[in-house]
Amino acid sequence: MFTAAKPIFIKGKSKETNFQAGFVCRFNASEGKKYTLRMAASTFCRVTLNGAFLHYGPARGPHGYLRVDEITVPAKPGENLLTFEVAGYNCPSFYTVDIPSFLQCEISSDGEVVAFTGRDFKGISLDTLREPKVSRYSYQRAFTEVYYLDSKAADWKNGDFDGEELGISDPGLEYIPRGFKIPEFRVTAPAKPVRAGVYALKNSERRYCRNHIPSKDVKCFRYEELPNDIIGATDADFTEREIGDKTSAGQFRQFTFDGIDTGFIITKLKVSSPAVVYVIFAEKYKPGTSDIDSGDASSDTLNVIKYRLPIGEYTLESFECYSFKHIALMVESGEVESCEFTLREYCYPIRNITVKTGDPTLDKTFEACRQSFRQNTIDCFMDCPGRERGGWLCDSYFTGMSSLLFTGDTECERLYLDNFSIAKFPEPGLPRGLLPECYPGDNLWDSSIPQWTMWYVMEVGAFGERGGDASRYREIVERILGFFEPYENSDGLLEKLPFWNFVEWTRANSWVQDVNYPTNMLYTGVLRTAAKVLDRPELCEKADRIRDEIVKQSFDGEYFRDHAKRMPDGSLEVLDDRSDICQHEALMFDIFDPSDPKFAVLMESIRNRFGVLGDRSGLPADIEPLDLFIGFAVRIEVLMKLGMYEQNLEEIKAVYGVMAEATGTIWEHRKGFASLNHGFGSFVAVRILDCLRGLRG
């Protein structure tokens, strides 16, 4: 992938935690020639050309590989200045692979390399500009941002500095193309001011949460090591009050965007007296309350950026990307004359599809799905673009549907599936055939969700039905089957699966052992899918036997029960616990024939009593209702299967219409806590169109 470039970093710093470095390169360009930049880096890199933003990357790749970004450089005739900011996090997280820091790139024209790392670049340590010792942003992601603009390194991008000694930092990995399209980086209109006033710190002693404390799976600095208490400095009560044109110590200004968006926060300030300011932001804010989820966020994110600023005018841009709608400036000291917030989007380029159904709620829901997809697809299918940016399986099964709709092909999904199939997972790691539930990343290697590995197989099958080449995943599907086979009991059912077993976010998730029937229903789907991918029809026969055994054990004459326990005498006792998700998965995975009178009570409940609009008064009180993830997603699939298009649309409006109206995105939980920008829900757009087609014949 590279002709001449070497992987470089500040000598002796490639393994330091949260160390930012800058690199500059000057090169001459000829008029009429085209120039190309190829780049690999760890962890992330922001590129500017002649002072203007050019790129952010590279795309993340699986263990053993580095994805290489390739972009066009719109160079001007004569001398050009490229700058590269590299954040070397060197910590496990849900969204990055933990490898030593480096930058490797080269600029070429007409096949000739004109500049490259190892010859034409000089570097500078930026640890005096961006504070290394800070809290983690979240349990799942790396570090918050604290900047000292009075640092001698503040003007490093002009290139006028003595370069430090550089070392070769070869990660020893295989290079592969980026694959994913280059993201969109357009800048939004400014946020609208909504209120201003004064704030008073709470001076609470509660300064800790799990994402700030080192543990076996969280690498971070100890609280007592941190020179900045940004939690304490922003945990405040806010009082709306007229404060004039300037913002002084103890005052704040709050702004809002039209909806949740994802990208890099651009803050324009005019500082008239040396100031310390905090930019705080959130996806949600309830007017009349004192908190916009800054230092004590209900989503477990530390949504704060700190700046120490001399007198002057600034256009500041966050290095990390965030998901938010509401944003505010808090002034700790000094004075700020003016303040404006915009956002540089970090979103996937998709087709400009709009839907005019005649129903405003459906139209807004479709657009919310579109926004959620583009914000959650950069270099994998992410769950959320804020708290985690993690590529979770099961989520991806649903996101894959919308990927075809919004991109027009299956390439994004292929690259996502490839991450798992080609990865050289760390040793010792998970058992052979069991996949990490969230990838690419480098955390929790002593845990996984077996059901999520099953959903990988289901997605491979769906990928094939969407026109992708499912045969490329035969080997990994075989490995997955090999993992589950030893857990089949004498009845053929999976029993006592290890690690974290997950069905959905309800009480059903406490009924996963010893034999969980929803899991075994899913397993029949896995076997039928694998039968097609591997051309092994005997797997369908095996699925039939498991299906019959599930009905025999689990069905109580009206509903399916969720689980059975292995008793001390060796017998298997089926318990009475029942959930909506169990009933829906029974239909989704063809465990029973809906036209069979034996299942009449269950079918009447599915049609009329389950779901957000159902009349539950006729249901047994102990049946656990559905939750948004993954219960409502499964229900949408079940109603599609039954051809209940009009009811499906009404339930979609009832569940997702509120989200679309409030934030323009799809949420993680129906009640609006945790993430309000979740990628898996984007599949609803596909089902809206399918329902409309069904109604029109």
Question: Which pLDDT score, from 0 to 100, does residue 280 have?
Answer: 93
Mean pLDDT, residues 502-526 taken together = 97
Task: For residues 647 and 670, give the distance between their C-alpha atoms in angstroms, rounded to a whole number.
Answer: 19
Q: Residue 690's Cα: distance from chain center in Å?
A: 26
State the CB neighbour count (10 A cutoff) for residue 91. 19
CB 322 within 8 A of CB 347: no
Domains along the sequence of the chain with CATH: 8-126+154-177 (2.60.120.260), 192-345 (2.60.120), 391-628 (1.50.10.10)
Question: Which pLDDT score, from 0 to 100, does residue 295 have?
Answer: 39
CA 589 → CA 123, 351, 530, 639, distances in Å?
57, 32, 14, 13
Residue 298 pLDDT exceeds 50: no
Residue 297 pLDDT exceeds 50: no
Residue 607 token pair: 């049609």
Residue 572 pLDDT exceeds 50: yes
Q: Residues 6 or more apart from 380 whose CB is under 8 A from it?
A: 60, 391, 415, 416, 419, 439, 440
Residue 300 pLDDT exceeds 70: yes
State the CB neighbour count (10 A cutoff) for residue 288. 6
Mean pLDDT, residues 26-41 taken together = 97
- The single-letter code of the amino acid at 328 is A
Mean pLDDT, residues 69-75 taken together = 98
Residue 294 pLDDT exceeds 50: no
Residue 382 pLDDT exceeds 90: yes
Question: Which pLDDT score, from 0 to 100, does residue 555 have?
Answer: 98
Question: Which pLDDT score, from 0 to 100, does residue 212 have?
Answer: 59
What count of Cα atoms within 13 Å lies in the side-chain half-sphere of residue 525? 24
For 461-482, what is each residue's pLDDT tens digit?
999 999 999 999 999 999 999 9
For 589-628, what is each residue's pLDDT tens digit?
999 999 999 999 999 999 999 999 999 998 999 999 999 9
Q: pLDDT: is 59 or 222 the higher one?
A: 59
Task: For residues 213 and 217, give the distance between their C-alpha atoms in angstroms, rounded to a whole number.
Answer: 10
For 650-675, what is each residue's pLDDT tens digit?
999 999 999 999 999 999 999 888 89
185 falls in which pLDDT band (50, 70, 90)? very high
Residue 288 pLDDT exceeds 80: no
Question: Which pLDDT score, from 0 to 100, does residue 207 have?
Answer: 54
Mean pLDDT, residues 22-51 taken together = 97
Of the candidates 303, 256, 298, which has an alpha carbon nearest to the alpha carbon of residue 280? 303
Question: Which pLDDT score, from 0 to 100, does residue 339 have?
Answer: 97
Mean pLDDT, residues 524-540 taken together = 98
Question: Which pLDDT score, from 0 to 100, does residue 553 have?
Answer: 98
- What are the DSSP E strand ranges found in 250-363? 251-282, 304-309, 312-317, 322-345
213 falls in which pLDDT band (50, 70, 90)? low
Question: Which pLDDT score, from 0 to 100, does residue 618 have?
Answer: 87
Q: What is the pTM of this model?
A: 0.96
Task: For residues 214 and 614, give the distance between their C-alpha atoms in angstroms, rounded to a whole number.
Answer: 46
Mean pLDDT, residues 441-452 taken together = 89
Mean pLDDT, residues 177-201 taken together = 96
For 327-351, what is each residue's pLDDT tens digit?
999 999 999 999 999 999 999 999 9
Question: Which pLDDT score, from 0 to 100, does residue 255 have?
Answer: 95
236 falls in which pLDDT band (50, 70, 90)? confident
Q: Which SS3 state, helix, strand or coil, does residue 46 take?
A: strand
Mean pLDDT, residues 269-287 taken together = 91
Question: Which pLDDT score, from 0 to 100, does residue 402 have?
Answer: 97
Question: Which pLDDT score, from 0 to 100, does residue 191 have?
Answer: 98
| pLDDT, averaged across the chain | 94
Question: Which pLDDT score, from 0 to 100, does residue 208 have?
Answer: 52
User: In percent, how much of the chain has pLDDT > 90?
Assistant: 88
Describe the crossing of helices 580-588 and 600-608 by its angle, rounded to 10 degrees: 110
- 3-class DSSP string for 60-88: CCCCCEEEEEEEEECCCCEEEEEEEEEEE
Q: No. of H helices and E strands in the chain?
A: 13, 23
